[in-house]
Chain A
Amino acid sequence: MKIHEYQAKEIFSRYSIPVTREELCFTVEEVSSATQKLGLPVVVKAQVLAGGRGKAGGVKLAKSLDEATTAATAILGMDIKGYTVEKVLVAEGVRFNNEVYVGLTIDRKSKSVIFMASREGGVEIEEVAKENPDAILKFPIDPDLGMTPFLARKIAFSLFTEFSLVKQAADMFQKLYRIFMDTDASLVEINPLVITDEGNLLALDGKMNFDDNALFRQSAIEAIMEPDEDEKVELDAKSKGLTFIRLDGSIGCMVNGAGLAMATMDMIKLYGGEPANFLDIGGSSSPKKVIDAMNLILSDPKVKVVMINIFGGITRCDDVARGLVAALEQIKVEIPIVIRLAGTNSKEGLEILKQAQLPVVETMTQAAQKAITLCETISHL
């Protein structure tokens, strides 16, 4: 889960981390009055939940009121990686002489939160990581000790030489760690963190991502999240006990288990087809879930064939088959379905499906191949 730059910086401010003076604007008029209030120059920045907005032209420096309104006109309504820009942040333009990168994230290997610091600020950190990985220093944080003053100083000394800056930075890094822990973040980033001409540290940008599994105890964060259209569908599916992700292909998938669902998509792709979605229906045989899942798949007009792949474990295949039959009796599916059922009591399950005149196959490979053939046949009609 992500939030916007302005929202991240509001959180930073609450922990008294210095950020640029700025205002959120939805119209060109608002940009105009914000510019007059903040004073020139200003930076007009698109607020979208997608990376790479700078490259897309979503960040512009304005040295006059005219330039600010021109920038706002250009950016508002702009499309950045499929997101329409509906709001911009107008921030004071700051003179600075040095920029660095700092961030906190989860490190899977050390099973800890790590602090990342780089003197190469202002550019996308992913690119630094690829081209010059040694330029990013990583400091694991002991979960029992937290961000101790000495560790914060050590990190600060890796970035700055002047002691007054080191002191400011060390204080800021401890606060950043507190933010990370308090909000169940998965990423907190300031890029760039600059030294102003007055010799102060200032967060010019801010980025925060959060752990979806912790939202139950982060109501303040949950309240400010803005799910996009895809995420709304995903959240709605989740409320029905389904994990759903829409993709671009034409073969709808219904699978039990996330790993098997991924493997099913991979199989379709391997044989030259394109999956329309990832869908994990979990481990029950309830017809209700199958109906919900089917409705979700069929809501996508691109879907031409539905492939159902169920491995019966604790929930036996005969129960799964009865659930499928009951569900498919209740909803009308006008496009072809391919069902693959394996595992516990698969013989009995397949028999039930055959008696209900449902098309069954025994292996994943057969299912994928059949779904693709059907899909191609339909496309040629």
Chain B
Amino acid sequence: MSILVNKNTKLIVQGITGRDGSFHASKMKAYGTNVVGGVSPGKGGQEVDGIPVFNTVSDAVKATGADTSIIFVPAPLAADAILEASEAGVSLVISISEGVPTLDMIKVTPYLKKNGTKLIGSNCPGLITPGEALVGILPGNIFLKGGVGLMSRSGTLTYEMVHQLTTNGLGQSTCVGIGGDPVAGLYFQELLQMFQDDPETEAIVLIGEIGGDAEEQAAQYIKENVTKPVVAFIAGQSAPEGKRMGHAGAIISSGTGTAEEKIAAFEAVGVPVARRPEEIPALLIKMLKK
């Protein structure tokens, strides 16, 4: 078990003929992900690294039975690509595109809800179930199969954390990059529930950052619903107010969304917060022994 993706996942790549799309389609395929097709309007009938290309997501789904789609299209086109995947009946959509307007994400939300489509991102590195499926731009080689479920608003910081886990022998069930935008798809609460319900996941790592109050809500949710050990890390303790720290959603505004508030919220419900990424493995091991 794991969450969201596994060896049965049938993946299509929207934007497969672009630079990033073709590069990562090959990487995902090489990792062992079942990449069944790609989509690029006007390029149907071609192949990318042996993967058949279709004109529309509908065509791709009909021909391949795909259930998951990953999107590598320019940000102005991302919302339409997400809607197209949902309309075609794909149940999980991962939007990698960075720089998608917030109102575009707001406008797609009700349609996805109506169709029961799950979305991860935009502006995210994707997700991985080690040894089974890599759906994203994450470097597959740093992951190790195991029992830690990880969710994060960041990309390279996730790799850093995973590197710490793997080098300390702590494998991962599934690692999900939820993305750095203010309005995004699946978030902490939904993923906490999935990891709680996943028999393979023994402990959870949550990596948050400044901006918004999703961490505070997650803390409350953990208190009420999560029995597995959770440890957290919050990036941005030294961030100044009013500046977007690289991610569109990482901003302290009018004194709210600070790292201090988030750390306090987790510690108040018994979730230890690492002050340095290097502390995560030891904290996890301590929690698992309890």
Which residues of A come within 8 Å of B, CB atoms? 51, 106, 108-109, 111-113, 126, 129-130, 142-144, 181, 184, 186, 211-214, 216-217, 243, 245, 247, 255-263, 265-270, 275, 278, 280, 283, 311-314, 342-344, 363-365
Contacts of B244 in A (CB 8 A): 212
* Chain A to chain B contacts (Cβ below 8 Å), 20 pairs: A106-B106, A106-B182, A111-B106, A113-B106, A126-B255, A257-B155, A257-B156, A258-B247, A260-B157, A262-B157, A262-B236, A262-B245, A263-B235, A269-B238, A270-B276, A278-B245, A312-B139, A314-B27, A364-B277, A364-B278
Q: Is B89 an interface residue (CB 8 A)?
A: no
In the complex, which of the residues A109, A267, A344 contacts B142, with contact meaning CB atoms closer than 8 Å?
A: A344
Contacts of B107 in A (CB 8 A): 143
Q: Would you give the shortest CB distance from A236 to chain B, in whole angstroms?
A: 16
The binding surface of chain A is classed by DSSP as mixed
The A/B interface has a contact count, at CB < 8 Å, of 164
Q: Is the CB of A108 within 8 A of B278?
A: no
In the complex, which of the residues A51, A129, A267 contacts B276, with contact meaning CB atoms closer than 8 Å?
A: A267
CB contact under 8 A between A186 and B245, given known A109-B214, A111-B183, A259-B235: no
**Complexed CA–CA distance, A213 and B179 (Å):** 15
Q: Is B152 an interface residue (CB 8 A)?
A: yes
Q: Would you give the shortest CB distance from B155 to chain A, in whole angstroms?
A: 5
In the complex, which of the residues B102, B138, B213, B238 contacts A214, with contact meaning CB atoms closer than 8 Å?
A: B102
Q: Is the CB of B154 within 8 A of A258?
A: yes
Q: Is the CB of A126 within 8 A of B248?
A: no
**B 98-117 binary contact with A (CB < 8 Å = 1; else 0):** 01111111110110000000
Contacts of A262 in B (CB 8 A): 154, 157, 209-210, 235-236, 238-239, 245-246, 250
Q: Is the CB of A268 within 8 A of B155?
A: no
Which chain B residues numbered 77 to 133 have a C-beta less than 8 Å away from chain A? 99-107, 109-110
Contacts of A186 in B (CB 8 A): 102
Which chain B residues numbered 224 to 239 have a C-beta less than 8 Å away from chain A? 233, 235-239
Contacts of A213 in B (CB 8 A): 75, 99-102, 248
CB contact under 8 A between A261 and B246, given known A213-B75, A269-B238: yes
Contacts of B75 in A (CB 8 A): 213
Q: Is the CB of B101 within 8 A of A211?
A: yes
Q: Is the CB of B243 within 8 A of A245?
A: yes
Q: Would you give the shortest CB distance from A211 to chain B, in whole angstroms?
A: 5
**Complexed CA–CA distance, A312 and B240 (Å):** 27
CB contact under 8 A between A266 and B153, given known A211-B102, A314-B27: no
Which chain B residues numbered 242 to 289 have a C-beta less than 8 Å away from chain A? 243-250, 254-256, 259, 275-278
- How many of chain B's residues touch chain A, expressed as a range? 35 or more
**Complexed CA–CA distance, A8 and B54 (Å):** 46
CB contact under 8 A between A265 and B106, given known A259-B158, A311-B159, A344-B142: no
CB contact under 8 A between A259 and B109, given known A270-B276, A311-B159: no
Q: Would you give the shortest CB distance from A150 to chain B, in whole angstroms?
A: 18
Contacts of A268 in B (CB 8 A): 238
Q: Is the CB of B139 within 8 A of A216?
A: no
CB contact under 8 A between A314 and B102, given known A258-B245, A364-B278: no
Q: Would you give the shortest CB distance from B68 to chain A, in whole angstroms?
A: 20
Q: Would you give the shortest CB distance from B95 to chain A, in whole angstroms?
A: 13
Q: Is the CB of B156 within 8 A of A260?
A: yes
Q: Would you give the shortest CB distance from B124 to chain A, in whole angstroms?
A: 11
**Complexed CA–CA distance, A364 and B160 (Å):** 10
**Complexed CA–CA distance, A117 and B207 (Å):** 34
**Complexed CA–CA distance, A275 and B239 (Å):** 10
Contacts of A109 in B (CB 8 A): 213-214, 217
Contacts of A184 in B (CB 8 A): 101-103
Contacts of A260 in B (CB 8 A): 154, 156-157, 160
Contacts of B249 in A (CB 8 A): 108
> A261-B246, A344-B141 known; 17 other A-B pairs, CB under 8 Å?
A106-B182, A111-B109, A143-B107, A143-B110, A211-B103, A213-B102, A214-B104, A258-B155, A259-B180, A259-B209, A262-B210, A262-B246, A262-B250, A263-B235, A266-B259, A270-B237, A278-B246
Q: Is the CB of A108 within 8 A of B212?
A: yes
In the complex, which of the residues B163, B247, B278 contacts A343, with contact meaning CB atoms closer than 8 Å?
A: B163
Question: Residue of B at shortest CB range from A316?
Answer: B139
Q: Is B199 an interface residue (CB 8 A)?
A: no
Residue of A112, A217, A259, A280 with most partner-chain B CB within 10 A: A259
**Complexed CA–CA distance, A205 and B118 (Å):** 41
CB contact under 8 A between A266 and B163, given known A106-B106, A258-B246: no
Question: Residue of A at shortest CB range from B110?
Answer: A144
Q: Is the CB of A257 within 8 A of B154?
A: yes
Residue of A112, A213, A247, A280 with most partner-chain B CB within 10 A: A213
Question: Residue of B at shortest CB range from A245?
Answer: B243
CB contact under 8 A between A314 and B137, given known A144-B110, A259-B155: yes
**Complexed CA–CA distance, A312 and B75 (Å):** 25
Contacts of A51 in B (CB 8 A): 254
Q: Is the CB of B207 within 8 A of A259?
A: yes
Contacts of A364 in B (CB 8 A): 160, 276-278
Q: Is B169 an interface residue (CB 8 A)?
A: no
CB contact under 8 A between A257 and B99, given known A111-B105, A126-B255: no
